[in-house]
Amino acid sequence: MTEAQYQKILSRLTALENKLNEVTTAMNNYMTNLQISEIYTILSAETTALRDIVEALTTRVETIEEEPYEDID
């Protein structure tokens, strides 16, 4: 094997190693479908809770607005 062939093989192995490292990093950062589903479930529950709070506050405000205004002097 000549020096040029050796350097070419070494260069290709280095490139493959770099790509493998990139793929490994991407896989470590990848969110699974299960994780996405869990996040969706949590956000849906929080959204429902917030909607319930807003509806309760709206009802309270409407009730207060319906009461007659009494001028206190």
Q: Which helix (H) or strand (E) holds 50?
A: helix 33-66
Q: What is the pLDDT of residue 1?
A: 87
Q: What is the pLDDT of residues 11-57, one digit of tens each?
A: 999 999 999 999 998 888 887 888 889 999 999 999 999 999 999 99
Q: How far apart are CA 71 and CA 43, in angstroms?
A: 45
Joined tokens for residue 40: 């969706």
Q: What is the pLDDT of residues 36-49, one digit of tens each?
A: 899 999 999 999 99
pTM for the full predicted model: 0.51
